[in-house]
Amino acid sequence: DTEVTQTPKHLVMGMTNKKSLKCEQHMGHRAMYWYKQKAKKPPELMFVYSYEKLSINESVPSRFSPECPNSSLLNLHLHALQPEDSALYLCASSRVGQYNEQFFGPGTRLTVL
């Protein structure tokens, strides 16, 4: 199974809401990533988990809170977001190390009103 799944596909939330994005992979990958992608831009790295531990936080605001409950799951908890946080949120996974390709999920299209 070479698939990364993400739920939900679309999410609309108000600035006072709390929501969570979910990601799952069953490829045995021990590196998992959250990216944010704005229209006509490349993916922008937010967080990296390596062996279920947060290894990189790219200075992301605290209104985004990642969680890695186990080696197959990755969550992104959202709270008090701003309209400029509207974007496509992509989850990816890979083997650990710099020579490994990343497998992306289909993404969650987030709109913050």
Partner 1 sequence: GQQVMQIPQYQHVQEGEDFTTYCNSSTTLSNIQWYKQRPGGHPVFLIQLVKSGEVKKQKRLTFQFGEAKKNSSLHITATQTTDVGTYFCAGPRDSNYQLIWGAGTKLIIKP
From the list 9, 10, 62, 101, which residue makes contact with partner 1 (rule: CB under 8 A)? 101
30 closest CA partner among 3, 56, 52: 52
Q: How many residues bind partner 1 (CB under 8 A)?
A: 18
Asked if 63 interacts with partner 1 (CB under 8 A), we say: no
- The tokens 């977001």 sit on which residue? 81
Q: Helix, strand, or coil here: 104?
A: strand
Asked if 89 interacts with partner 1 (CB under 8 A), we say: no
**What is the side-by-side order of every strand in the sheet holding 18-25?**
4-7, 18-25, 73-79, 64-70
Instruction: Tell which positions 15-54 bind partner 1, by CB under 8 A.
Output: 40-43, 45, 48
Interacting span for partner 1 (CB under 8 A) from 16-24, 66-74, 79-87, 92-100: 92-100
Residue 23 structure tokens: 């990601």
Interface residues toward partner 1, by CB under 8 A: 40-43, 45, 48, 56, 90, 97-99, 101-107
